[in-house]
Amino acid sequence: MKLKTNPNAENFDLWLGQAAPRYTSYPPAPFFTAQIGEKDYALSLNGLSEKDHVSLYVHIPFCRSLCLYCGCNTQVTQRVDRVQEYLDSLKREIAKVATLTGKRRINFLHFGGGTPNLLGAQDMRDLFACLGEHFDLSSAREIAMELDPRVAGADQAKILADCGVTRVSLGAQDFNPEVQAIVHRHQPFERVAELCAQMRDAGITRINIDLMYGLPKQTPETIAATAHQVCTLSPDRVALFSYAHVPQIKKHQLALEEHGLPDLHERLALDSAAREVLTANRYRAIGIDHFAQEGDTLTQALNEGRLHRSFQGYTDDDSTTLIGLGCSSISQTKDGYFQSEHDERAYQDLIALGKLPTRRGFLLSSEDRLRRAIIEQLMGTTTCDVATICQRHAFPIENLAADFERLKPYEDAGLIGLDGTTLRLTTHYRMALRVISKAFDPYSLNAPQPLSSRTS
């Protein structure tokens, strides 16, 4: 399968391989500061109004084995007692937060990790019971959980359904056996197909499947074959993530280098090959790396202008407050962002002292909110009416003159179109949005050194 490229090679020079955030928040997480801590977070939670919709994110930082591509905050453990100790702390945090918020009605509940489904049946039920005691889950629009297919089955599907889970995200990444062997994640297509059937039989019909490109030994042909296999399972959503190679942060990723990582243009070919299969099978491209069936709520949100971007990716969750629970989790309120202690043991120590485990954060200015709105709309819909957003935020558009000036090279190269102050992406390489959005991000532009992965 050949890569479809724009004949003007200079287009690639403007964005391909450039460091830029993925903009799951604005400002991006590297700009959070330790000057914002527990007192700020407590004040923000206390300030929630009855009109503020609230969602929850719960982080489980454990896996049974290490996948070499992983960039998540997770630890490998086989120790049941270690997981139990963490769950005890997590339950105490849930109770502590609820004393500040009251028993709020929850809009969305998402479990991430790590591997949330490594919890045993009773631990899973106990955790849901604790959440249900302190928050009202009765009318949640969605309860979602990220799953490792290797540690899930029919029994667990029933337990999750009994607990109220309505959506699962299955980490597939790639079905090619050679790629799986290199990244240390052996899970045949048949296992994932069986799990999809088991989830549906249990009543969990909303299924996402995650894929990844940029791994050793992937070719356009092999990743297209994986995408074809995924389509036969008819998931509601597919995420096509770009592998972020950051061995300076995640040292285990160094082991992948001996197998040869694809270069930037080879990564583009991989993205294009998988993307072509998904769109040919009637999956609607959403943002930079998501795809959804036409009837899915994510597609509906895109059509209706309700699409949002958060730390969990693209979402139709319109909550004004996202409360993160567990180590390294990030909360978002109308005031800003608050991140919990990253280290599992240090997190537990803070909980034992009766403290909120907040270690850093960022309080938003009115201009931050404006820039966040611009970047979120651009990253979600590939277009942005900047003037309308400025009007909504009572912000003089003249103050963005330098930002529009930074967009000119992209316009001249044919990557974007500008109709007055309305911006739209004109290249089919959606990852370019990360670099284009950076034109509205003075924090990243003025950073002394790149703090983000390279765009590809």
Question: In this predicted structure, what is the pLDDT of residue 78?
Answer: 87
> What's residue 451's pLDDT?
74
Pair 291, 284: CB distance under 8 Å:
yes
Q: Answer yes or no: is pLDDT of 3 > 70.
A: no
- Mean of pLDDT values over 393-418: 97
pLDDT band at 8 (very low <50, low <70, confident <90, very high): very low
Q: Specify if 46 maps to a domain.
A: yes
| Residue span of the structural domain in which 48 resides | 25-324
On the question of pLDDT at 2 being above 60, the answer is no
pLDDT, the chain, mean: 95
Average pLDDT over residues 238-247: 95
What is the DSSP secondary structure assignment for residue 27, as one 8-state letter?
S
- 396: in domain: no
DSSP state of 103: S
| Domain count for the chain | 1
- Residue 144: inside a domain: yes
Q: Give the whole-angstrom CA distance, residue 256 versus residue 244.
A: 12
Q: E-strand spans in 294-443? A: 308-310, 313-315, 321-325, 330-332, 336-340, 358-363, 383-385, 416-419, 422-425
Assign 112 a pLDDT band (cuts: 50, 70, 90). very high
Single pTM value for the model: 0.95
Confidence of residue 450 (pLDDT cuts 50, 70, 90): confident
- Reported residue count of the chain is 456
DSSP-derived 3-state class of residue 150: helix
375 domain residue, yes or no:
no
What would the two tokens of residue 353 be? Answer: 């002292």
Nearest to 342 by CA among 38, 97, 73: 73
The Cα angle at residue 253 between residues 250 and 258, in degrees rounded to 5: 150
The predicted structure's pLDDT at residue 319: 95
In this predicted model, what pLDDT tens digit does every residue of 155-175 receive, in sequence order? 999 999 999 999 999 999 999
- CATH number at 72 reads 3.80.30.20
Residue 415 lies in a domain: no
Cα gap 99→41, rounded to integer Å: 13
Whether the pLDDT of residue 297 is over 60: the answer is: yes
pLDDT confidence of residue 452 = 78
Q: Is residue 170 part of a domain?
A: yes
Range from 87-96, 189-198, 245-254, 371-380 carrying the lowest mean pLDDT: 245-254
Assess whether pLDDT exceeds 70 at residue 7. Answer: no
The helix (H) or strand (E) run that includes residue 126 is helix 121-134
Tell me the average pLDDT across 389-398: 98
Is residue 187 included in any domain, yes or no? yes
With respect to residue 101, please indicate whether it lies within any of the assigned structural domains. Answer: yes
